[in-house]
Amino acid sequence: MAYTSQTSHRAALLVTSVAVLGLLTACGDGSGVRSGPQQVTGTAADATGGGPTAADTAADGTTAQSPAGEPPAGEPSSLPASDGAAGTGATPAAGGTRCHTSELSASVGRNNPGAGQENFPVVLTNESARTCTVRGYPGAAFVNASGGRLGPDPIRSSGTPTTVTLKPGRSAWAGLTFSNPEISGARTATPAALLITPPDERDQLKVAWTAGAVPVSGNASAVLLTVLAPGNGA
């Protein structure tokens, strides 16, 4: 009788152990991973939007890795586009066709007087074999035979600068204007030359001045320059 009771007790313990084992199997193994596959609909992404996308996942289900320093496929790069200059990231300058002093010659055209004004075209001509451009105002200064300045530099008159394209042999001109000293009463001097500086250049071109006295001080002594325009001003 005691043997039967002990056998029954062991049987009860075995049943209880199986039940507990089944419960643990159904609930998990304590690691938080469910035993059975879970199926959901829709597309998953993490809260930052940085999770792998379908384009990042290989056919075997592994996530594709981008090389160090490069963004994942399908995302824009933060690096600037190459411009041919390492490390600059700058956009190449448009054209790069400015006329340099060494490519130009200068001259002063015939006076075209009117209403008490003296008007001379200052002409720049492209002597090079390439097409180049000028834009804006030239610089100008009257000098004596020793190279000393006579009077203040000409003043820029109002105008809208435009880019003038000069093919080989073509010219651009700017107007050099001042009041007739005999009318204005300004003090005068007779220059030996006019120094002309092309726009955005430092080197000058020297042109002999043969048009007589120019105002250098006093009333109405200002000399004006206009913006460069196509042609020779004739």
* 83-119 residue pLDDT tens: 333 333 333 334 469 999 999 999 999 999 988 899 9
Both tokens of 87, joined, read 């490390």
| Angle in degrees, CA 207, 140, 181, rounded to 5 | 90
pTM: 0.59
Task: Name the residue type at position 202.
Answer: R
Res 133: pLDDT = 97
The architecture in CATH of the region 101-230 reads Sandwich (2.60)
The residues, ordered by sequence, that sit 6+ positions from 136 with a Cβ below 8 Å of its Cβ are 161, 199, 200, 227, 228
Write the pLDDT tens digit of every residue in 57-75. Answer: 344 443 334 334 333 433 3
Q: What is the mean pLDDT of residues 181-199?
A: 93
Instruction: With H, G, I as helix, E, B as strand and everything else as coil, classify residue 170.
Output: coil
The residues, ordered by sequence, that sit 6+ positions from 184 with a Cβ below 8 Å of its Cβ are 116, 215, 218, 219, 220, 221
Give the residue extent of every domain in the chain: 101-230
Q: What is the DSSP letter of 102?
A: G
Q: How far apart are CA 194 and CA 108, in angstroms?
A: 9
Please report the sign of the dihedral spanned by the C-alpha atoms of residue 24, residue 29, residue 35, residue 41. positive
Q: How far apart are CA 149 and CA 1, in angstroms?
A: 138
Residue 2 pLDDT more than 80? no
Res 96: pLDDT = 63
Spatial contact of 187 and 214, defined as CB atoms under 8 Å apart: no
Write the pLDDT tens digit of every residue in 12-68. Answer: 444 444 444 444 344 444 444 444 433 333 333 333 344 444 444 344 443 334 334
Res 226: pLDDT = 96
